[in-house]
Amino acid sequence: MGRLPFVFGMLFLFYLVVSVSGIGANWGTQATHHLPPETVVRMLKDNGFQKVKLFDADSGTLNALGKSGIEVMVGIPNDMLATLASSTKAAEKWVEKNISTHVTGNTVNIRYVAVGNEPFLQTYNGTYLTTTFPAVQNIQFALIKAGLAKQVKVTIPLNADVYQSSTGLPSGGDFRSDIRDLMVSIVKFFNDYGGSFTVNIYPFISLYDNPNFPVEYAFFDSTSAFLTDNGNSYYNMFDANLDTLVWALQKSGYGNLPIIVGEIGWPTDGDNNANLQYAQRFNQGFMNHILTGNGSPMRSGPVDAYLFSLIDEDDKSITPGNFERHWGIFYFEGWPKYQLNLGTVNSSNLVPAKNVQYLEKKWCVMSPSASIDDPQVGPSVSYACGRSDCTSLGYGTSCGDLDARGNISYAFNSYYQRFNQLDTACKFPNLSIITKNNPTTGNCRFEIMIQPISANGEQRLVSLQMRVNLMAFVFLTFLTFL
Ligand SMILES: *[C@@H]1O[C@H](CO)[C@@H](O)[C@H](O)[C@H]1NC(C)=O
Ligand SMILES: *[C@@H]1O[C@H](CO)[C@@H](O)[C@H](O)[C@H]1NC(C)=O
Ligand SMILES: *[C@@H]1O[C@H](CO)[C@@H](O)[C@H](O)[C@H]1NC(C)=O
Ligand SMILES: *[C@@H]1O[C@H](CO)[C@@H](O)[C@H](O)[C@H]1NC(C)=O
Ligand SMILES: *[C@@H]1O[C@H](CO)[C@@H](O)[C@H](O)[C@H]1NC(C)=O
């Protein structure tokens, strides 16, 4: 009898650990400059992330994750789906090279293969509609053949646009009519083989797309319900969206299929609603929400989720919007953007990346003697921004308050840092100078780039600079001989 409270205590403790175990992070690599993968892995561990989601199977990244214990979701890019769908051999090769070697050779804790990335997105016009499911099947069978199917499960990260609600309420949820049969087949397959449904949920995009979207509904701190449905009250869009999926799964006959939230987050720049305050409010609200372990009205229990994203990526396409390059909870160099308590470590602050190698503390700015009326200004700024990242300029952004000269300096510096502070990258005709005075003001960061690394992790700055110098030398020699 005396042991009962103890057992209950242990169970409670176990429950707590289970319910808080497992916040994950998306680790994207569409950046001009990467932190060494070992640095990122250290950062994941220091911040208590137990899981990471990748968008490909880069061997440098996977090697760094070896022996870390971190659970890994490896990705297959959409452009590989056709090959993997049409050839079981290709799928077996992929599994052998990108899963087996890392699981057995490097002891990487791979748990999922993410086949494609939002392949049924409506803007893809059906490009991956016929190849995704066969690719999933081939990968699943290849995993079975390799003896890895117990440890490694298959999923497809899908955008929440694969389901919708005819009534505007979660209970009206069902899969999009044009892909409903396909979705039901996929869901059945996942159910048969122990796979999970992965969905990316973005209240920010709802707000971005619809100026009439009630802002408070995007966050997690409202005390009044926005919807009631079947006796359930909804205080935030996340729960309503997730439950729309639960209803869609129920209508397909697989209401208990595990759900993974593959991406969730809020950007900090590039749009009026993308700022540090909103991002912190959203991400902290989300963390507090899932740390309760209660789940949503239709799906109780812990939420399995991966924050989007770990670090900013300055080379992402900005077709969806300028905010695309600013999803990180850390800046590109691993510096925390705001205070965020993940509930994983004994700290309410994010832990920055360690031993980051920066370039020199110098910036390229507009020369004080240059005039903003100089006809070269326009073309120079366009040139610089076209080849670097100016998404922090413009209305409602972190550098939106700069004056005209500040704008021009920002563009020049962005280009100069992008090209590793080469002298030749600060040669806008009579317009630019290099300075050691930090032009950063307020939230507007005039960045210093980090040292570039090559694929095998070695710094290649020196060789790059030598090559440029060599070219200049060859060119000058050539001129002399003319
Ligand atoms: C393994 O993954 C990488 C990165 O995604 C890819 O480039 C490569 O083609 C894959 N290997 C095989 C054998 O499919
Ligand atoms: C999809 O179709 C639209 C309209 O026909 C077109 O503008 C767009 O470029 C297409 N997108 C892709 C990814 O094919
Ligand atoms: C956690 O942090 C608090 C406050 O900084 C400190 O007093 C405490 O000793 C820490 N606990 C552990 C287990 O590190
Ligand atoms: C600075 O640049 C942004 C983006 O190009 C522009 O919207 C803004 O009007 C500029 N500000 C000034 C003062 O020139
Ligand atoms: C730069 O300024 C100098 C002196 O003011 C002038 O001679 C030269 O033509 C200018 N160069 C360019 C590229 O505008």
- Cα(23) to ligand 4 centroid in Å equals 39
Model confidence at 48, in pLDDT bands (50, 70, 90)?
very high
Q: Which atom of ligand 5 is nearest to the CA of 429?
A: 13
Q: Identify the CA nearest to 174 among candidates 256, 247, 259.
A: 247
pLDDT tens for 21-33 read 579 999 999 999 9
Q: 407 CB less than 6 Å from ligand 4?
A: yes
The answer to whether residue 74 scores a pLDDT higher than 90 is yes
- Model's pTM, two decimal places? 0.89
Distance CA 82, CA 87 (A): 9
Last residue of a domain, one of 325, 344, 378: 325
In a domain, 133, yes or no: yes
Model confidence at 14, in pLDDT bands (50, 70, 90)?
very low
401, 463: one domain: yes
Distance CA 385, CA 379 (A): 10
Residue of higher predicted confidence among 209 and 20: 209
459, 312: one domain: no
266, 177: one domain: yes
216, 102: one domain: yes
Of these ranges, 116-120, 211-215, 344-348, the one predicted with the greatest mean pLDDT is 116-120
Is there a contact between 290 and 303 (Cβ–Cβ < 8 Å)?
yes
Task: Specify the pLDDT at position 303.
Answer: 96
Distance CA 157, CA 41 (A): 22
257, 380: one domain: no
Ligand minimally distant from the alpha carbon of residue 114: 1
Task: Specify the pLDDT at position 103.
Answer: 97
Distance CA 114, CA 155 (A): 5
> At what angle are helices 88-95 and 132-145 packed, to 10 degrees?
60
Task: Specify the pLDDT at position 401.
Answer: 95
pLDDT tens for 394-409 read 999 999 999 999 999 9
Is there a contact between 328 and 309 (Cβ–Cβ < 8 Å)?
yes
Residue type, 51: K
Q: Which CATH number is 84's domain given?
A: 3.20.20.80
- Please give the distance of CA 62 from its chain centroid, rounded to a whole number: 17
Is there a contact between 38 and 334 (Cβ–Cβ < 8 Å)?
no
308, 388: one domain: no
Mean pLDDT, the chain, as a whole number?
A: 91
* Cis upstream peptide for 309 (omega within 30°): yes
> Is 263 an annotated catalytic residue?
yes
Task: Specify the pLDDT at position 454.
Answer: 63
The answer to whether residue 52 scores a pLDDT higher than 60 is yes
In a domain, 7, yes or no: no
In a domain, 37, yes or no: yes
> Is 92 an annotated catalytic residue?
no
422, 314: one domain: no
Distance CA 285, CA 268 (A): 16
Task: Specify the pLDDT at position 293.
Answer: 94
Q: Identify the CA nearest to 325 among candidates 315, 335, 337.
A: 315
In a domain, 412, yes or no: yes
112, 253: one domain: yes
Task: Specify the pLDDT at position 347.
Answer: 81
320, 370: one domain: no
33, 123: one domain: yes
In a domain, 102, yes or no: yes
In a domain, 90, yes or no: yes
- Return the DSSP state at 334: S
In a domain, 94, yes or no: yes
In a domain, 113, yes or no: yes
244, 367: one domain: no
To test the pocket of ligand 5, the residue of 383, 428, 430 to mutate (highest count of ligand atoms within 8 Å of its CB) is: 430
pLDDT tens for 178-219 read 999 999 999 999 999 999 999 999 999 999 999 899 999 999
- Cα(90) to ligand 1 centroid in Å equals 10
The answer to whether residue 10 scores a pLDDT higher than 80 is no
The first and second tokens of residue 268, run together, are 């900090």
Task: Specify the pLDDT at position 37.
Answer: 97
Distance CA 5, CA 173 (A): 42
pLDDT tens for 362-387 read 999 999 999 999 999 999 999 999 99
pLDDT tens for 268-283 read 999 999 999 999 999 9
Beta bridge partners of 442: none
Ligand minimally distant from the alpha carbon of residue 349: 3
Beta bridge partners of 197: 259
Residue type, 247: W
The answer to whether residue 146 scores a pLDDT higher than 70 is yes
Region 52-76 average pLDDT: 97
Residue with tokens 């600013």: 326
Instruction: Show the domain range for 444.
Output: 363-480
The first and second tokens of residue 161, run together, are 């646009």
Last residue of a domain, one of 272, 300, 325: 325
Closest C-alpha to ligand 2, atom 11: 124
Number of domains observed in the structure of the chain: 2
Is there a contact between 421 and 362 (Cβ–Cβ < 8 Å)?
yes
Q: 55 CB less than 6 Å from ligand 1?
A: no
pLDDT tens for 153-185 read 999 999 999 999 999 999 999 999 999 999 999
The first and second tokens of residue 386, run together, are 């076209």
Q: Which CATH number is 427's domain given?
A: 1.20.58
pLDDT tens for 311-337 read 999 999 999 999 999 999 999 999 999
200, 271: one domain: yes
Distance CA 266, CA 205 (A): 9
The answer to whether residue 8 scores a pLDDT higher than 80 is no
Closest C-alpha to ligand 2, atom 12: 124
Q: 8 CB less than 6 Å from ligand 2?
A: no
pLDDT tens for 409-454 read 999 999 999 999 999 999 999 999 999 999 999 889 999 999 998 6
- Cα(319) to ligand 2 centroid in Å equals 13
Last residue of a domain, one of 300, 325, 350: 325
